[in-house]
Amino acid sequence: MSLTRAGCLALDANDPLAQHRSAFALPDGIVYLDGNSLGALPVTTAARVREVIEDEWGRGLIGSWNDAGWIDASRRAGSKIARLIGAADDEVICADSTSVNLFKVLAAALRLEQRRPPVTEHVRDVILSERGSFPTDLYVAQAIAEISGGRCRLVTVSADDIAYHIDDGTAVLLLTHVDYRSGRMHDMRELTRRAHFAGALTVWDLAHSAGALPVDLAEAGADFAVGCGYKYLNGGPGAPAFVFVARRHLHAMADDRFAQPLAGWFGHRAPFEFSPEYEPAAGIDRFGVGTPSIIALAALECGVDTVLAAGIDALRSKSVQLTQLFIDLVDNRCANLGLGLASPREAARRGSQVCYAHDHASPVMQALIGRGVVGDYRPGQAGEPGILRFGFAPLYLRFADVWDAVEALRDILATRAWDRPKFIERRAVT
């Protein structure tokens, strides 16, 4: 790979995904390396949302629940996401937020686990997770452990130690597939295999995977998963999240009314019968709860369509090229400028982001944003330096953008342009 801007422009000229950039409304003069936090706006979204608002809601009014197919919107978006994560279309539904969906599936997994015949006499009460997981995953697990009244507890270990802590005390393995901070990717297949061998179930958080790289939940034998609509799926700020439950578990919980404890009318077998007793829908619909936002679901569907149009394998291929280019350029052009690679060097173990630790990560990122290179800052763990986080959304990023980002970074570090009063130093959270 030739490390010049001209070389990057040549890569763009030959990029089979280059045309997809025009599917997004991106502001001029910005290199947007934060699509892993909030995906860019598809050009179709505004018109589609306007149609939902003016035609379906404004003119169709209540009749649009049937006439415009609102009643199926959660499943329709879910079935599109299913194609990106190796799931069947009756295994995924879009509803609520990632946090709320985590509560549903973690509770459901623990309950299924409690109903299974014990493998050993050991008490199986551990939710095993990673110390540095995205906080909401840990918070939900802490809450579930607390309200269980001692029936389960959360144990967190470092990423490297996960595999060695899966044992006959593990009820549920709760992991983020791609770490939000480092971009490190777990081996979903291998860890699921180990979990199953030990008699545990798995909950995968796909927030930083879905839409960025191929996920094959079926091949991995995954049990439960959740994911986010507003990152690589480009669904808009706070887009509805999704939830996956393997069909075998949907069957296994069929006779357990509150297997999913957030029992709301949109999870009922027949919401419009207004029956006083909760009877869950037979399949994935029971993971719905209240009335979903139809406007938000319409925007999400536009976002998912941008990913489907490009194809997830092609996206992964370009993503690996982009992240590798970024690492190579930083190696070459930012040596001895205080950056420590915080992401795996090996592409196969890395999601679609690259992170660097730096002693002044927060002001450095502010200076970068000031020059139109938009990544984000994440505090370091337990006194460690903060992190410069760069996400690479292959749908709309160009190779030349990567060059320009690294040049801006190099210049800011070499000239200490971050060391200005207007850039605020933030401390690591301990």
Q: Please, which of residues 323-362 interact with a second copy by CB under 8 A?
A: none
When the beta carbons of 11 and 152 are compared against a second copy, the nearer one is 152
Which residues, 6 or more positions from 113, have their beta carbon under 8 angstroms from its beta carbon? 124, 171, 172, 200, 201
Length of the chain: 430
Output phi, psi for 426, to 5 deg: -115, 145
The two tokens of residue 180 are: 């939000």
Q: How far, CA to CA in Å, does 37 sit from each of 181, 208, 329?
A: 11, 9, 23
Q: Which stretch binds a second copy (CB under 8 A): 10-18, 188-196, 256-264, 313-321?
A: 256-264
Within 371-400, the residues that bind a second copy by CB under 8 A are 374, 376, 378-379
Instruction: Say what angle helices 135-147 and 98-115 make with each other, to 10 degrees.
Output: 40
Radius of gyration of the chain (CA): 22
Q: Which stretch binds a second copy (CB under 8 A): 7-15, 63-71, 166-174, 242-250?
A: 63-71
Within 150-189, the residues that bind a second copy by CB under 8 A are 156, 181
To the nearest whole angstrom, how small is the minimum distance from the Cβ of residue 395 to a second copy? 14
Among 13, 19, 63, 67, binds a second copy (CB under 8 A): 63
The two tokens of residue 409 are: 């970074």
Instruction: Say what angle helices 361-370 and 399-414 make with each other, to 10 degrees.
Output: 120
When the beta carbons of 53 and 308 are compared against a second copy, the nearer one is 53
The reply to whether 131 sits near a second copy by the rule CB under 8 A is: yes
The reply to whether 44 sits near a second copy by the rule CB under 8 A is: no
To the nearest whole angstrom, how small is the minimum distance from the Cβ of residue 52 to a second copy? 8
The reply to whether 34 sits near a second copy by the rule CB under 8 A is: yes
Among 142, 163, 193, 407, binds a second copy (CB under 8 A): 142
Among 13, 53, 119, 282, binds a second copy (CB under 8 A): 53
Within 224-253, the residues that bind a second copy by CB under 8 A are 230, 236-241
Output phi, psi for 219, to 5 deg: -65, -35
Residue 290 is classified by DSSP as: S
Q: Which stretch binds a second copy (CB under 8 A): 37-45, 197-205, 210-218, 335-343?
A: 37-45
Is residue 419 within 8 A of residue 360, CB to CB? The reply is: yes
The reply to whether 257 sits near a second copy by the rule CB under 8 A is: yes
Which residues, 6 or more positions from 220, have their beta carbon under 8 angstroms from its beta carbon? 86, 188, 189, 192
Among 88, 168, 278, 331, binds a second copy (CB under 8 A): 278
The reply to whether 262 sits near a second copy by the rule CB under 8 A is: yes
Is residue 85 within 8 A of residue 215, CB to CB? The reply is: yes
The reply to whether 57 sits near a second copy by the rule CB under 8 A is: yes
Closest CA to 261 of 177, 143, 136: 143
